[in-house]
Amino acid sequence: MARGISVGGTSLPVTDASMNVSREPVIEQSMTGKGGEILYGGLYSAAQGSFGGAYRPSVFDAYITNLLAVSPASYAIQVQDDNGVALKAATCYITGCEISMKVGELAKCTFNFVGQGLDYNAANSTATAAFSAEVPVFYKSHTSWGTCSEFSIKIDRPYAADDYVLGGPFFSESIYQSGDTKITGTVKLSQTTSYKATDPGDMTLTLGMISSNKEIKISGAVLAGADISINGRGLIGKTQNWACPSGGVTI
């Protein structure tokens, strides 16, 4: 693999990828001199990162399904440059995903992750990402909400890696879910479409490909706000937001 990202040993067809980690040194404060007399290595923060690009259902749906599982599996994630130099976190959990479709574009997706166990110079991966799987296109996509120019769905499942122990490593002993899973979305309405006045309940996001359709089923959706914006005689922007239970999505 040249530049790119490997998740669970699979090189993914993405546009961008990143990983970062920090380490806070332990400093002895002093009353004399310049201060900071003695410096020791400190704790590593959790590795954090993201990756994203065109949404290929056949490639990315497995990661979304795992994100929504009762007990998600972890992945080893590696981000590598053209020379085979990489950062790798051995145990990572995906903490969020957003899928969006806009007029004039391909469907896009973005994933976030958190991890522990850092390798500064991981072994070079020889895997090559395949960009051959189909991507949904705007002119074959729609939603049961009504006529719109854009829609999105976002899943957030927070994890933390701050379980440090005496006598242990500089990394967190574990990664744990630190909050509730939240599923939200937006629909940007067309000029002639009215706002919904009642909770939508069940709805479908259809992402059309050339040979087939990908449907994301939502159940128990409720209204979560709206906005409108006007600038001169340009298009009027109208957006409605929704939310659904953590078990209300079928990928």
Q: Using one digit for the tens of pLDDT, what is the confidence trace for 18-75?
A: 999 988 888 888 777 777 677 888 888 889 999 999 999 999 999 999 999 999 999 9
Domain-located, residue 149: yes
How high is the pLDDT of residue 228? 95
Distance CA 131, CA 20 (A): 26
Among all chains, which residue has been given the structure tokens 């166990």? 117
161, 159, 145: which is closest to 216 by C-alpha? 145
**Residues of the domain holding 92:** 4-23+42-250
Distance CA 110, CA 114 (A): 14
Side-chain half-sphere exposure of 207, counting CA atoms within 13 A: 27
How high is the pLDDT of residue 36? 66
How high is the pLDDT of residue 238? 95
Helices (H) and strands (E) in the chain, counts: 1, 18
Distance CA 217, CA 117 (A): 36
Distance CA 157, CA 179 (A): 7
Distance CA 18, CA 4 (A): 9
Domain-located, residue 31: no
Neighbours of 148 (CB within 10 A): 21
Question: Considering its fold, how many domains does the chain have in total?
Answer: 1
| Average pLDDT by stretches of 10, the chain with 251 residues | 87 96 85 75 91 98 97 94 87 97 98 90 75 96 94 97 88 92 97 92 97 97 96 93 97 93
Domain-located, residue 32: no
